[in-house]
Amino acid sequence: MSETYVATCGHDPLGDEGIAYVAWLRNDCVPVEHRHFPGQVHVFLPMGSAMPETTVPIGETAAALRKMAPYGAR
């Protein structure tokens, strides 16, 4: 089973739902990597040019997608 990557933010109206989703996955024994970015807002990832600190979560998301990709897609 593939590992699941979930990123949540501190200033996000959906943040509590994301954290609850992580708990639900873990309760069902789904491997999940959860990263919380407390100082960020919901739309911070696409704002990379204005917010250089997005390079960390963008890199982590890309690495998680590479792990989940079929062997031929790497």
Q: pLDDT of 3-58, one tens digit each? A: 788 989 889 898 899 999 999 999 999 999 999 988 888 888 777 778 778 888 88
CA 16 – CA 10 distance, rounded (Å): 9
Specify the pTM. Answer: 0.76
Instruction: Spell out the residues 6+ positions from residue 43 whose beta carbon is closer than 8 angstroms to its own.
Output: none
At 72, the amino acid letter reads G
DSSP the chain: ---EEEEEEEE-TTHHHHHHHHHHHHHTT--EEEEEEEEEETT-GGGTTT-GGGHHHHHHHHHHHHHHS-GGG-
